[in-house]
């Protein structure tokens, strides 16, 4: 698998098994550091600790929607994608037209392709 991502990545995922698998994949693909956050509070802490180059957000994070985090990323110009076991509503696409979306389960290649697409659109 060719590297398709670099820098610091925020991975907002509250399922620890999924988070570890995705973090390993992202590091193998070239991410310098993957910051796993399993709650809104942890996401805010990661964002406060320094620049994020890319983010992957589970839409439902600790029984809340991750849209506040998405708005912060969007306002900072940070590319991101949503992941979820459910299709997002049309409202999500309208609020975040530049965000990608992957429905769980997805393949590693699908994730890396979605990341590459988002990063190209913001460079």
pLDDT digits (tens, 9 = 90+) for 21-40: 999 999 999 999 999 999 99
3-state secondary structure of 35: strand
Going by C-beta distance under 8 Å and a sequence separation of 6 or more, which residues neighbour residue 75?
none
Is residue 82 within 8 A of residue 70, CB to CB? The reply is: yes
Domains of the chain, earliest start first: 8-122 (3.40.50.2300)
Distance, in Å, from the CA atom of 75 to the CA atom of 120, rounded to the nearest integer, reads 18
**Per-residue model confidence as pLDDT tens for the chain (123 residues):** 454 688 999 999 999 999 999 999 999 999 999 999 999 999 999 999 999 999 999 999 988 999 999 999 999 999 999 999 887 777 888 899 989 899 999 999 999 999 998 888 765
């Amino acid at each position: 698998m060719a590297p398709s991502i670099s820098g610091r990545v925020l991975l907002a995922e509250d399922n620890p098994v999924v988070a570890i698998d995705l973090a390993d994949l992202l590091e193998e693909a070239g991410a310098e550091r993957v910051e796993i956050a399993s709650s809104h509070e942890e996401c805010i802490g990661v964002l406060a600790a320094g620049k994020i180059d890319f983010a992957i957000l589970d839409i439902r994070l600790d029984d809340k929607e991750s849209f506040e985090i998405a708005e912060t990323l969007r306002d900072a110009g940070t590319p991101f994608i949503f992941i979820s076991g459910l299709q997002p509503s049309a409202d999500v696409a309208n609020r975040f037209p530049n965000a990608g979306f992957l429905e769980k389960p997805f393949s590693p290649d699908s994730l890396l392709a979605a990341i590459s697409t988002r990063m190209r659109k913001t460079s």
